[in-house]
Amino acid sequence: MSQLRLPPIQTTARDDAVLEALAGFVQQEALQPGDKLPTERILAERLKVSRNTVREALTRWEGLGLVERLQGSGTFLKAAVSPHMLHMPLTLAGGNDFASLMQTLEVRRALEAEAVSLCAMRTGPQELDLIRRKLETMEEAFHSRAGMSSEEDWEFHQAIYRASGNPLFEQLIAAMHEMFHRFWEHPLGVRDFGHASFPYHRTIYERIAARDAEGARAEALKLIATVEADLRRGEAARNQARQA
């Protein structure tokens, strides 16, 4: 990493200024999601602010899903950032109940369908190759772990969001990742949750590879439909258990 070029902060709104300076640094160094940021001590020294100010600024980024802070490892970038960017924090229902899951699924349906459609129109050879490799990794995990491939599934979809050409897809869905992840943790007692969606990952890839935007959208909607069917099946089973 080249020498840090972070100017001292001379403003009362120091946390906002720190975030703007950090965003400029990320852009200048061409840091990508997954890259590690400098330590709080180094950032504080370069910006001429307290470590607490840096920590509060990074906490704001963490709340927005832009960075991940791992104990003993450091702070890692989770999404693309740039100076003067508009931050849009999301507040999600924290429950694992049917209504909360359905609300989140409705949002994912809209985002997923548009993302795969744009991906089919915009993706380049390198991005397409990455999507293919992520798909093959997910399929291998699915078969070797009896359908348990949530992390690999997530990486496959992330590759599509990035190839869509619009960073907001990845940022918005990353902010909701925790809720989406619950879909794969046996929601409402459905043990084989997500298994029916498995084949559609490949058909989505095939439509993207064929540059078929509408076909990719249709396959994505089919995938989401299987998720909704699983949720409804689980809710029906739960209601029957309550009535028994």
Is pLDDT of 143 > 70? yes
How many angstroms separate the CA atoms of 164 and 115, rounded? 6
The pLDDT value given to residue 203: 98
CA 220 to chain centre: 17
Stretch 179-208: mean pLDDT: 80
- Which residues, 6+ apart, have CB-to-CB distance to 187 below 8 Å? 96, 101, 193, 230, 231, 234
Query: Which of 208, 201, 220 has its CA nearest to residue 142?
Result: 201
Stretch 26-45: mean pLDDT: 87
pLDDT band at 15 (very low <50, low <70, confident <90, very high): low
Query: Which of 127, 149, 128, 146 has its CA nearest to residue 138?
Result: 149
- At 78-137, the pLDDT tens digits run 877 777 676 666 666 555 678 878 888 898 899 999 999 999 999 999 999 999 999 999
pLDDT band at 11 (very low <50, low <70, confident <90, very high): very low
The pLDDT value given to residue 51: 86
- At 201-242, the pLDDT tens digits run 999 999 999 999 999 999 999 999 998 998 898 888 888 888
The pLDDT value given to residue 176: 72
Share of the chain above pLDDT 70, in %: 82
Return the structure tokens found at 2: 């080249």
How many angstroms separate the CA atoms of 220 and 115, rounded? 9
Query: Residue 166: how many CA atoms within 13 Å on its side-chain side?
Result: 15
Global pTM reads 0.69
How many angstroms separate the CA atoms of 173 and 114, rounded? 12
Stretch 176-185: mean pLDDT: 63
Stretch 183-202: mean pLDDT: 78
How many angstroms separate the CA atoms of 226 and 15, rounded? 44
- At 149-165, the pLDDT tens digits run 778 998 999 999 999 99
Q: Give me the amino acid identity at 103.
A: Q
How many angstroms separate the CA atoms of 154 and 104, rounded? 16
Stretch 193-200: mean pLDDT: 89
